[in-house]
Amino acid sequence: MKRPVLIQILLALIILTCTAGCDSTRLLREAQEAFNQGAEIENRARLGISGDPASLSTLPPPKGDPTTYYEIALARLEQADDASLKRDGLWVHKRTLLALTHWKLGNHEQARETARQTNADAHRHPREASILKAIPALVQIDNAIEMTQRDEAAPLNAIEDELVGTPYGAISILEEAREIAPGHAIQVYLIQSRLSAYLALARARERYGTASRFNDSEITEVRDSLTLLQELLNRFGATTADAEQITTLWGRALGVSH
Amino acid sequence: MISPDLIIFAIRTGLRLGEAGRRAYIDRTAERPLILPLPNVALSVTVSTARDWFNRDGRQYLDPERFPRLARLHEVVDDLDEQQRVNYLQLYEELYDVEQARRRGDAVGKVSLDPADYVRLMQVREFAADNTQRPSTLQRIVGALVDAGVDYFSSVPGAIPSEERRHGRVIIGIVRAMESIPFHELSVDERTISRIASRLLKAGLDTLAEQPEIVASDHNVQRLVEQAAEGLSRDLSKAWEASDGRFARQQMLVDWAELVFSSMLSAAGRRVVEEPAKYLGIDKVTHGRLIKVVGTTMIELASGDGRLSLDRLVSRQGLEKLVEGTLLVVSEHPQLAGPAGQEALGAVIRSLARTLANKGVIEQDDQARAYFRRDLLPDVARLVLQKTNRNFELIWPDLESRPERHLLAIAAKRILTALSAEPPQGSRWTLRFTGPQALALVDAALNEMANNPQWLIEAAKREDRYLAAAVEATLKILRKKADSRLGPETALHILASAVRAVAMRLSFVEKSPNGEPMVAAVVEAVIATIFREHEAIDAAWQLVRDEAVRGLIDLALKRFATSRMRSNDLAVLTETIEKHVRDLLDGSPLDMKRLDWAMQNALEEEST
């Protein structure tokens, strides 16, 4: 028996409306997945980690160039519909991921702009709000490294401004990001980003052949950051041994005991 | 109380984009963890890093009396050549660790971070651990199931779950399993339980999609899903608690449980449909016990020995065989469903896995060392378990006190170890056996053993030295006396004949004058004669044919078994074979009947 025409039209409308919404959610999920895979490759390479984390997993660990994964993430995010994501409360998540993806792809200006133009409610979205706040710092750390590695390095004071300048240096910005979500697991990431900034500073001063890479107050800050990192790792689920090992890797690279 | 119908409804509406299901889907998207990458700086060590550390935190290591080499290098730190630079950095890394350990008041430990642990720590969820906005346990489980369901069904075009269809049965089974688990008694967190539930749901849906005939129209499959999921979730939760927070281990456990669950549905599905009372139980006491025992055994296999890389030993197909073998032996022997029986089952399979892996019999972590491909373990375990059904008490004499003392398992391990061993230096015959060939010998040998109660009784006294001794000694003779003209199939035939001979007469394992078991001495008499360098090509042509070699071995063993099996008999037998070969060199044809008659006569004469 045929359905009445009105019911058929209503059904078609519901399906059409919902499909647009769900497609955007699915695109966001695909972007999250792709970004995570790229980040996993990077993080393993960063600490010189090799090996298979999911020995029985049907999905092998991601391999290859993380940029490819970030490009996939960007493509998915650009396809996702802002209006439907806003309606579903996922727009902030999209914007955060977009800023992160732009940063990793080297689109530094777009990363900063995306972060600047996105207001995230720190209470509802503590992770996203912290990341958005930290994006300029992350960009500046990468920028400082690039400035150091140029054939003709940028002036040391310009690099130092990017990293330890007040109030716009990466370390100050990361402190603000940390204040947004105290007690949140994002702290582990932010502290490691802060240590990355100090490492970038050390590399720059090495390039300029300064007598010592850190002054006394910087040494104290690095030492405190290492201690804090170990505490945070323990608090957010690392075993004591893992927390010590991660902290030792950082401390050794920075040349500071704690 | 979670309503299965509601979850099916949520998934359906999620798929049809109704508000309730869609909302759950969206919430799960918002909650998904992000792995955050660090800025682009390498955690490497430079000479400046080391120099600054020695100048400050590591100053005490610059004492020229205690560390003269370091002190010398540090003095010229700005002018180090390449080798000195390497040495300097090496000293820095070592002494940095020493200093850290000293500050902790701990022993020096090598920095080796588990990759999975680091990846996990860089995953950040939206909500903090102490955030009050987190949903309740049940909400999270419902959310996880809806999420997994929507993910699954959205990738299967046209599939919409309903209570009446097979998808619905899986969902209902999983939900009921979750309902019956006392979360408050478990110390694992709700995220873990949610993760376990959703992984089991996906595995169940996948498995039943691959084998729709299992669940065409049977409600018992729903009960199977329910029992398997409940048992596995409980076992897994316990194993999780014991994992000491090691993420890699937890990851392995969940992955393994998913594989076990799929294998249980595949392996047990048909049997449950055919004999529901037997496999699912008929009352509250026996309900689902069989299924749970198998699941527990498989989970304990993964959690009991951290050194075993089970994924490298067992594939999905292999695990199905293992599950099926375990299910069969448990269904035939209800005593195995008790705690001691479960422990015994796990002990036997673990001991098989451990021996095969540790002795390099099968692939483990070093493929160059490995000999047989993976999945030999499930085949061997299945053979061992299936053959246990006959003469159960004799095969497994100390089930409770020494569960690993399973006579067939012990025999299988020794045979496989012997077959996979490198040929000794100076061997003339160096061919190797394939996995299926080795398995065929194990099958034949275990058959002989399982069907001979007296052998089992004797074997129980001597840890089965008979069977292993026969195989090892015979193989040793083949390596020493045969050459590349002996094919592995014929070699297997000889080994199987040796085992059969021992099964026929135990005296075959008694020592011959040269110290080897009699069975090996008989084989030597034949093989040494056949594979000698013969000048007459025609004679050699006839002798080394596979058929001739097999015939001569079988004949010699048969005739010797009918003798009094003394050393004189062995000498007579050897002389008769030698004489027959001399006739062959003089131009006579190979005549098995004449040789048989000659052997018989010679041995009878000797006995009189």
pLDDT of residue B8: 61
Better-scored residue on pLDDT, B575 or B189: B575
* CA–CA dist A133, A140 (Å, integer): 13
Where does residue A48 rank: exposed (0-12), middle (13-18), buried (19+ CB within 10 A)?
exposed
Q: How far is the alpha carbon of B444 from chain A, nearest alpha carbon, in Å? A: 33
List of long-range contacts for B492-496, beta carbons under 8 Å, 24+ apart: B492/B433, B492/B437, B492/B440, B492/B441, B493/B550, B493/B553, B494/B523, B494/B527, B494/B549, B494/B550, B494/B553, B495/B441, B495/B471, B496/B440, B496/B441, B496/B444, B496/B445
DSSP-derived 3-state class of residue B382: helix
Phi, psi of B123 (to 5 degrees): -90, 130
Nearest to B277 by CA among B335, B358, B331, B217: B331
Q: Residue B436, Cβ neighbours under 10 Å: how many? A: 11
Nearest to B278 by CA among B320, B324, B327, B222: B327
> Is the separation of the CB atoms in B124 and B36 below 8 Å?
yes
| CB contacts < 8 A (A, B) | 236
User: Which residue in B has a C-alpha nearest to residue A55's C-alpha?
Assistant: B252
Q: Residue B39, Cβ neighbours under 10 Å: how many? A: 24
Residue B275 makes CB contacts below 8 A (sequence gap 6+) with none
Q: Each residue of B159-200: pLDDT tens digit?
A: 555 555 666 777 777 777 776 666 656 656 666 777 777 778
Interface contact B115-A52, CB threshold 8 A: yes
- The reply to whether A102 touches chain B by the CB within 8 Å rule is no
| pLDDT confidence tier of residue A97, bands split at 50, 70 and 90 | very high
* CA–CA dist A69, A72 (Å, integer): 5
Q: Each residue of B478-490: pLDDT tens digit?
A: 998 888 888 888 9
| pLDDT confidence tier of residue B505, bands split at 50, 70 and 90 | confident
Q: Each residue of B365-397: pLDDT tens digit?
A: 444 444 566 667 888 888 888 888 777 878 887
The percentage of residues in chain B with a pLDDT greater than 90, rounded to a whole number, is 10
Q: What's the whole-number mean pLDDT along residues B27-31?
A: 79
pLDDT of residue A20: 45
Nearest to A61 by CA among B203, B255, B145: B255
pLDDT of residue B380: 87
DSSP-derived 3-state class of residue B124: strand
* CA–CA dist B234, B141 (Å, integer): 15
- At residue A142, does pLDDT exceed 90? yes
- The reply to whether A125 touches chain B by the CB within 8 Å rule is yes
Give B-chain residues touching A258 at CB under 8 angstroms. Answer: 103
- At residue B67, does pLDDT exceed 50? yes
Q: How far is the alpha carbon of B273 from chain A, nearest alpha carbon, in Å? A: 29
User: What is the value of ipTM here, to two decimals?
Assistant: 0.87
Q: Provide the phi-psi class of B375: left if phi over 0, else alpha when psi is between -120 and 50, else beta.
A: left
Of B39, B45, B58, the CB nearest to A142: B39
> Is the separation of the CB atoms in B296 and B233 below 8 Å?
no
- The reply to whether A25 touches chain B by the CB within 8 Å rule is yes
pLDDT of residue B127: 54
Interface contact A56-B56, CB threshold 8 A: no
> Is the separation of the CB atoms in B28 and A90 below 8 Å?
no
> Is the separation of the CB atoms in B41 and B30 below 8 Å?
no
How does DSSP assign B436-505, residue by residue? HHHHHHHHHHHHHHHT-HHHHHHHHHHTSHHHHHHHHHHHHHHHHH--TTS-HHHHHHHHHHHHHHHHH-
How does DSSP assign B28-64, residue by residue? HHHH--EEPPPPS------HHHHHHHHHTTTGGGG-T
> Is the separation of the CB atoms in A245 and B110 below 8 Å?
no
Interface contact B36-A189, CB threshold 8 A: yes
* CA–CA dist B59, B53 (Å, integer): 8
pLDDT of residue A107: 94
Question: What residues of chain A, 128 to 147, have a C-beta less than 8 Å from chain B?
Answer: 128, 131, 138, 141-142, 145
Give B-chain residues touching A131 at CB under 8 angstroms. Answer: 34, 36
Q: Residue B34's beta-bridge partner residues?
A: B124
Give B-chain residues touching A127 at CB under 8 angstroms. Answer: 34, 124-127
Q: Of B276-280, B581-585, B592-596, which has the strongest mean pLDDT?
A: B592-596
Of A18, A66, A239, the CB nearest to B17: A18
Lowest mean pLDDT among A91-95, B164-168, B262-266, B296-300: B164-168
| pLDDT confidence tier of residue B107, bands split at 50, 70 and 90 | low
- At residue B360, does pLDDT exceed 70? no
Lowest mean pLDDT among A75-89, A129-143, A212-226, B300-314: B300-314
Give Cα A120 to chain centroid, integer Å. Answer: 16
* B328: amino acid identity, one letter: L
Tally the residues of chain B.
Answer: 608
Q: What is the mean pLDDT of chain A?
A: 84
- The reply to whether A26 touches chain B by the CB within 8 Å rule is yes
Interface contact B29-A46, CB threshold 8 A: no
- The reply to whether A244 touches chain B by the CB within 8 Å rule is yes
Q: How far is the alpha carbon of A256 from chain B, nearest alpha carbon, in Å? A: 6
- At residue B211, does pLDDT exceed 80? no
* CA–CA dist B352, B375 (Å, integer): 12
A interface test, pick of B85, B93, B113 with most A CB neighbours within 10 Å: B113
Q: How far is the alpha carbon of A57 from chain B, nearest alpha carbon, in Å? A: 6
Provide the token pair at B537.
């090509």
Give A-chain residues touching B245 at CB under 8 angstroms. Answer: 237, 239
pLDDT of residue B422: 82
Give B-chain residues touching A194 at CB under 8 angstroms. Answer: none
Give B-chain residues touching A125 at CB under 8 angstroms. Answer: 126
pLDDT of residue B366: 43
Better-scored residue on pLDDT, A46 or A240: A240
* CA–CA dist A42, A36 (Å, integer): 10
- At residue A251, does pLDDT exceed 90? yes
Angle of CA points A183, A43, A145, to nearest 5°: 95
Q: Residue B35's beta-bridge partner residues?
A: B123
- At residue B13, does pLDDT exceed 60? no
| pLDDT confidence tier of residue A193, bands split at 50, 70 and 90 | very high
> Is the separation of the CB atoms in A148 and A154 below 8 Å?
yes
Q: How far is the alpha carbon of A164 from chain B, nearest alpha carbon, in Å? A: 15
Give A-chain residues touching B59 at CB under 8 angstroms. Answer: none
Q: Of A199-208, B118-127, B409-418, which has the strongest mean pLDDT?
A: A199-208
Residue B64 makes CB contacts below 8 A (sequence gap 6+) with B71, B72
Nearest to A98 by CA among A112, A111, A89: A111
Give A-chain residues touching B125 at CB under 8 angstroms. Answer: 127, 185
* CA–CA dist B190, B240 (Å, integer): 12
pLDDT of residue B50: 94
Lowest mean pLDDT among A57-66, A70-79, A237-246, B277-286: A57-66
Q: What's the whole-number mean pLDDT along residues A188-213?
A: 93
Phi, psi of A6 (to 5 degrees): -60, -45
- At residue A47, does pLDDT exceed 80? no
> Is the separation of the CB atoms in B319 and B265 below 8 Å?
no
Q: What is the mean pLDDT of chain B?
A: 76
On the question of a cis peptide bond just before residue A167, with omega within 30 degrees of 0, the verdict is: yes
Q: What's the whole-number mean pLDDT along residues B395-419?
A: 83
Q: What's the whole-number mean pLDDT along residues B320-326?
A: 81
Where does residue A37 rank: exposed (0-12), middle (13-18), buried (19+ CB within 10 A)?
buried
- At residue B108, does pLDDT exceed 50? yes
* CA–CA dist B492, B495 (Å, integer): 5
- At residue B283, does pLDDT exceed 60? no
Question: What residues of chain A, 59 to 98, have a C-beta less than 8 Å from chain B?
Answer: 66, 88-90, 93, 97
Interface contact A49-B118, CB threshold 8 A: yes
A interface test, pick of B121, B243, B258 with most A CB neighbours within 10 Å: B121
Of B99, B119, B247, the CB nearest to A40: B119
**Radius of gyration over every alpha carbon of chain B, rounded to an integer in angstroms:** 33
pTM of the model: 0.53
pLDDT of residue B30: 84
Give A-chain residues touching B303 at CB under 8 angstroms. Answer: none
**Radius of gyration over every alpha carbon of chain A, rounded to an integer in angstroms:** 22
> Is the separation of the CB atoms in B396 and B445 below 8 Å?
no
> Is the separation of the CB atoms in A97 and B33 below 8 Å?
no
Give Cα B178 to chain centroid, integer Å. Answer: 29
Alpha helices of chain A — where are they, by DSSP H?
5-46, 66-79, 82-87, 91-104, 108-116, 126-149, 156-164, 170-180, 186-207, 216-235, 240-254
Phi, psi of B35 (to 5 degrees): -90, 125
Lowest mean pLDDT among A162-176, B280-294, B456-470: B280-294
- At residue A81, does pLDDT exceed 80? yes
Nearest to B436 by CA among B386, B492, B360: B492
pLDDT of residue B495: 92
Q: What's the whole-number mean pLDDT along residues B452-467?
A: 70
3-class SS letters over A24-64: HHHHHHHHHHHHHHHHHHHHHHHCCCCCCCCCCCCCCCCCC
pLDDT of residue B141: 65
